Amino acid sequence: MSNQNNTKQLNFIAIITPGVLLAATGVGAGDLATASFAGSHLGVAVLWAVILGGVLKYVVTEGLVRWQLVTGLTFLEGVALKLGRVVGWCFLPYLLLWTFFVGTALMSACGVALHALIPIFDDAQIAKVVFGSGASLLGLFLVKRGGFRLFEKIMGVCIATMFLVVIVTAVLVWPGTAVVLKGMFIPSIPDSQGDGIIWTLALIGGVGGTLTILCYGYWIREKHRNDVSALRICRIDLGVGYFMTVLFGLAMVIIGSTIEIEGKGADLLVTLANQLHTELGSVGSGLFLLGAFGAVFSSLLGVWQAVPYLFADFWRIFFKASQRVNDDSNKDLCQSQPYKIYMWGIAIIPMLGLMMSFKEVQKLYAVIGVAFIPLVALALLLMNSQRAGLGQYANSWITRIALLTVVVFFGALAGMKWVR
C-alpha cells in the first residue's frame, strides 16, 4: 500500500513539473516589485486582480498547448505556417531585447539579494556586479552540466524555498481573514493619489511571465507529451502552475500591504527585508531574503535553460527552413549550435547592463513586453479557431471571448505604459 502511494505521488509530481517550472520561471524580481508595491499603495483590496491575471495567462498558455498537441507544431512553427514568415521575423528583435533586459534584471536581483545575505563588499554596486555575474555563471554551469534532469531538481529546491518563505511571511504579517477574502472576491480599486487604476492594471499584467509562457511547450516535450492525449494532463499541470503563481502574488500583496515601501528595481528586495525586520526580527527578514533569492535565481535558471530553445527553434524554422529531427524531445534543439551559442550569450552579454542605465530604453521594453501577451492571444484567436485543422479542439465561443478579453485588456495596458 505504501509503495502504491509513493508511486502515485511520484506520478503526480511528474505531471505537474512543467507547470511548476513555468510558475518558477515566470515569478521573478518584477513580480516581487509589482505585487509588493501594489499592496503597499492599495492594500489587500486588489487581491482579486492577482486572481484575474492568473486566469487570463492560463487561457493564453492553454491555447498554446492545445495548438501544439493537436497539430504537432510549436507556436513558432504555427506562426510561420498560418500567419506568414514576415510575422514570424518580427519575433526575433523582441526575443533579443527581452533576453538582454530580463537577463540584466535577473542578474541584478540575484546580486542585490546575495549582497544582503552575504555583506562582504563595502560597495553595493561592486557587490551587485560580482554576485550577479557569479549567479549568472553558476546558472550557466548548472544548465550546461546537468541538462534537464538536474535543472528540474535544482528548480525544485529553489521553488520550495521561495514559496515556503514567502507564504510563511504572509501568514506572519496576516492582516485578517475577513479583509483578505473581501479583497479576493469583491473587486474594488482604491484611489491612491489617482493612480489606483494604473497599479491595479500593472498587478494584473505582472502575474506570471510574458515570453516565458512559450517555454512551456518545450518543457512538455521533455516529458514526451506529444499528442492530444496529453491535453488533459497539461490542463491539470497548468492549473497547478498558475495556482502557485497566484498564491505567490497574493502573498506578496499581503506582505506589501502591511508596510510602507520605498525603492525600485532590484533594491526593493533589500528595502522589503529591512521593513520586515521590524515585524519579524533579523531571522525573519533574513529568511525573506533567502526566499526572494530563491524566486529570482529559479527564474534565472528557467530563462537560461528554456529561452535558448526559442532561439534554436527560430533558427531552424526561419534560417534553415528545416524540420525537427526528433519529435519526441528537444534533443535536436539543445544539442544544436544555435542553442549552445544563445545559452552562453544569455549568461554573459547582459552582464554589460549591470553597469549601465537604461531608463528610457527600459520604458520602451516594458511596452514591448506587455504587448507580447495580446499579440500571442490574437495569434491564437486566428490559429486555433480553424476547425479544418483542429476539429473539436478549435476555440469554443467561451475561449474566443476570453482571448479577445486578453487582447483588449493587455493592449490597453501596453498603451497606458507607453503614455506614462
Domain boundaries, the chain: 27-419
Q: What is the pLDDT of residue 368?
A: 59
Q: What is the largest CA-CA distance in the chain?
A: 64
Band (264; pLDDT cuts 50, 70, 90): low
pLDDT of res. 171? 87
Question: 75-79, 172-176, 238-242, 363-367: which has the minimum mean pLDDT?
Answer: 363-367
Query: Which pLDDT score, from 0 to 100, does residue 30 have?
Result: 63
Q: Cβ contacts of residue 157 below 8 Å, gap of 6+?
A: 294
Most confident of 303-312, 350-359, 363-372: 303-312
113-126 average pLDDT score? 85
Q: Rounded distance, CA 370 to CA 374, Å?
A: 8
Q: Residue 329's pLDDT is what?
A: 55
Q: In the predicted model, is pLDDT for residue 193 greater than 60?
A: yes
Provide long-range contacts, Cβ within 8 A and 24+ apart, for 411-417. Answer: 411/371, 411/374, 412/201, 413/201, 413/202, 413/204, 413/205, 413/370, 414/367, 414/370, 414/371, 414/374, 416/198, 416/201, 417/363, 417/366, 417/367, 417/370
Neighbours of 156 (CB within 10 A): 16
Q: Where are the alpha helices (DSSP H) in 175-267?
A: 177-185, 196-206, 216-222, 231-257
Mean pLDDT of the chain: 80
Angle, CA of 18, 227 and 151, to the nearest 5°: 25
pLDDT at 178: 94
Q: Which CATH code fits 27-419?
A: 1.20.1740.10
All three cell numbers of 333, joined, read 534543439
Q: Is the pLDDT of residue 385 over 80?
A: yes
pTM: 0.84
Within 8 A by CB and 6+ apart from 164, the residues are: 291
Per residue in 197-252, pLDDT (tens digit) is 777 777 777 677 778 888 888 888 888 888 899 999 999 999 988 998 898 889 88
| Position 282 confidence tier, pLDDT thresholds 50, 70, 90 | confident
For the stretch 292-310, pLDDT in tens is 788 888 888 889 988 999 9
CB 370 within 8 A of CB 210: yes
Distance from C-alpha of 255 to C-alpha of 176, rounded to nearest angstrom: 12
